[in-house]
Amino acid sequence: MIQTSAAINPGNSGGALVNFQGEVIGIPTLAATDPQLGSGAAPGIGFAIPSNIVRNIATQLINQGTVTNSNRGGLGVGVGTTTSGGLLVTQVQRGGPAAAAGINTGDVITAVNGTTTTNATTLADVLAGLKPGQHVGVAATHPDRTSQTVQVVLGQYPG
């Protein structure tokens, strides 16, 4: 993401984010929220999707009708939050990266690539910065309370 001070309004981004040479560098997408304003838009803090990512995704949509390569790493799990910290693995993709590393339904993922994962947003943020094929450590606690860190070769995050 690119942080910008451009005004971003729901339903009307105002157009492309351009540099001084008139080159498109991003597409404004998201305005930050301010809890002190009742979760309203935080003035002057917005985010844009970089143009190289937009171009890549648009090309895939035009050519295949779907995103076939998100360029983002995926674990191949469904997760839910817990009250004790970590993310409960509620689903494991058969033959996926987590399954191949020995992560099972009922395990609790506590960290990925050294980052503590207390909620799904944190997990998504960590994975967004990783690439398919990358080897990462995933710390998990099993239902019998034993813990281990396994090496996972990330797959393709579905797009």
pLDDT in tens, 47-65: 888 888 888 888 989 998 9
Q: How many whole angstroms separate alpha carbon 77 and alpha carbon 93?
A: 6
Q: How confident is the model at residue 109 (pLDDT cuts 50, 70, 90)?
A: very high
109 shares a domain with 41: no
Contact by Cβ (8 Å): 77, 88: no
* Shared-domain flag, residues 41 and 112: no
List Cβ neighbours of 43 (8 Å cut-off, separation of 6 or more): 34
Please state whether the predicted TM-score (pTM) of the whole model is above 0.85: no
- pLDDT tens-digit profile of 127-153? 988 999 999 999 999 999 999 999 999
Q: Say how far apart CA 5 and CA 7 lie, in whole Å.
A: 6
Burial 109-136 (b: 16+ CB within 10 A, else e): bbbbbeeebeeeeebeebbeebebeeeb
Same domain, 40 and 85: no
- Answer yes or no: do 126 and 92 share one domain: yes
Q: 87 falls in which pLDDT band (50, 70, 90)?
A: very high
Region of poorest pLDDT, from 9-13, 77-81, 83-87, 147-151: 9-13
Higher pLDDT, 68 or 59: 59
Closest CA to 44 of 7, 3, 18: 7
Domain total of the chain: 2
CATH number, domain of 118, equals: 2.30.42.10
**Do 128 and 93 share a domain, yes or no?**
yes
24 contact partners, CB below 8 Å, separation of at least 6 = 16, 17, 18, 51
pLDDT at site 17: 87
**Same domain (yes/no): 151, 78:** yes
Q: Out of 19, 45, 64, pick the residue that ends a domain.
A: 64
User: Mean pLDDT over all residues of the chain?
Assistant: 86
In the predicted model, is pLDDT for residue 37 greater than 70? no
Range of the structural domain that residue 40 is part of: 2-64
Residues 27 and 85 in one domain: no
Same domain, 25 and 96: no
Domain boundary among 37, 64, 91: 64
**Please, which residues bridge with residue 50 across strands?**
26
Confidence at residue 10, expressed as pLDDT on a 0 to 100 scale: 65
Q: Are 109 and 77 in contact (CB under 8 A)?
A: yes
State which of 64, 82, 98 marks the end of a domain.
64
